[in-house]
Amino acid sequence: MSKYAYYPGCSIKGSAKQYEESLFAICKPLGIELQELPDWNCCGATMYVSVDEKISFALSARNLAMAEETGMDLVAPCSACYVVLKKTQDYIQKYPEIRANVDKALTAAEMVYRGTVRVRHPLEVLIHDVGIEKIRETAKQPLKSFKIACYYGCQIVRPYQEFDHPCYPETMDDMFRTLGAETVDWAFKTRCCGGSLTGTIEEVGLRLNYILIKEAQRKGANCIVTICPLCQFNLEAYQHKILKKYRDFSEMPILYFTQIIGLGFGIAPEKLGIKRSIISPKKIIEQLAAQPEPEQVQIPISS
């Protein structure tokens, strides 16, 4: 059993509940235990640093300090949280002035951060710590009916290019192919979904997401798979509005990578939060069940 400290972030407790459900569901068979940081605070996303730099890094350091106490690596499933935590670590090291401010704030809160925490994204934990081999061994159900457009979004691969290419990443594609799904080759793997802009200037956000869905469909995908709560929300929750406006594509389910892996592991859809989808992937999943098991296809050779 490998243990990690877990930083959920605000979205996962709200609109991205199915991400957490499926993440925990797949951790079990892989022997991973996630321990939620008690009393974590908001990472600040892209908003905090737009208003006050000093306090934004200090607040983020509070989470890091709590994680450091556990002695474990810190897993952050939301891309915004992931990048903010990583950036805080990077800037504390690079800029003595930021370090001084962070220390000042932490001291006032009777906390210390020495700078030893490793911040991880679940995708990277699966690739590096668990490994493709183990995922292949755990898989029970080949995902033959899935034609996936892997959508990495921006912040998990940029600016900290820890485990994949910043513009054309491939780790998620590899993993789904291992699980028997087809993945489509498309150019928009890391093209921005607009983030919070979809909520503030909807016109622009709708178009950004329209471009993504349209292109995924043109390339033959039957679903888009994301790793970030904000990408998932923008692509799914606004999809009916996008359809009304642009019309030249059809409804497309938007799932989390953890949900897909869970299906591959043979975990029941109810345990993966599939029911929380606004755009149901039911059809693709039903086709999955309709497929004969590989053993049954083999023609017995009579002796």
**Rounded distance between C-alpha atoms, residue 150 and residue 171, angstroms:** 10
User: What residues from 257 to 276 belong to the interface with other proteins (CB under 8 A)?
Assistant: 275-276
Number of residues near other proteins (by CB under 8 A): 67
Closer to other proteins by CB, 49 or 135: give it.
49
Calculate the alpha carbon distances from 278 to 232, 236, 237, 302 in Å: 11, 7, 7, 50
Nearest-approach distance from CB 46 to other proteins, in angstroms? 4
**Rounded distance between C-alpha atoms, residue 153 and residue 55, angstroms:** 27
User: What residues from 111 to 140 belong to the interface with other proteins (CB under 8 A)?
Assistant: 111
Segment interacting with other proteins, rule: CB under 8 A, options 24-32, 33-41, 121-129, 257-265: 33-41
User: What residues from 39 to 78 belong to the interface with other proteins (CB under 8 A)?
Assistant: 39-42, 44-55, 58-59, 62
Q: Which position among 5, 26, 81, 98 is part of the footprint of other proteins (CB under 8 A)?
A: 98
Closer to other proteins by CB, 244 or 247: give it.
244
**Rounded distance between C-alpha atoms, residue 131 and residue 266, angstroms:** 18
Nearest-approach distance from CB 232 to other proteins, in angstroms? 10
Residue among 47, 39, 128, 116 nearest 81 (CA): 47
Determine contact, residues 199/234, Cβ cutoff 8 Å.
no
Q: Would you give the binding string for other proteins spanning residues 221-250, x where CB under 8 A is met?
A: ----------------xx-x----------
Closer to other proteins by CB, 13 or 283: give it.
13
Nearest-approach distance from CB 148 to other proteins, in angstroms? 22
Nearest-approach distance from CB 122 to other proteins, in angstroms? 19
Nearest-approach distance from CB 249 to other proteins, in angstroms? 19
By the rule CB under 8 A, 161 interacts with other proteins = yes
Closer to other proteins by CB, 26 or 81: give it.
81
- Sequence-distant (≥ 6) Cβ neighbours of residue 258 within 8 angstroms: 19, 22, 23, 25, 26, 122, 272
Closer to other proteins by CB, 80 or 263: give it.
80
Q: For the beta carbon of residue 154, count every other beta carbon within 10 angstroms.
A: 21
Q: Given the structure tokens 């859809």, which residue do they identify?
A: 269
Determine contact, residues 210/245, Cβ cutoff 8 Å.
yes
Q: Would you give the binding string for other proteins spanning residues 185-224, x where CB under 8 A is met?
A: -----xxx-xxxx-xxxx-x---x----------------
Residues in contact with other proteins by the rule CB under 8 A:
10-11, 13-18, 39-42, 44-55, 58-59, 62, 91, 94-95, 98, 101, 104-111, 154-155, 158-159, 161, 166-167, 190-192, 194-197, 199-202, 204, 208, 237-238, 240, 275-278
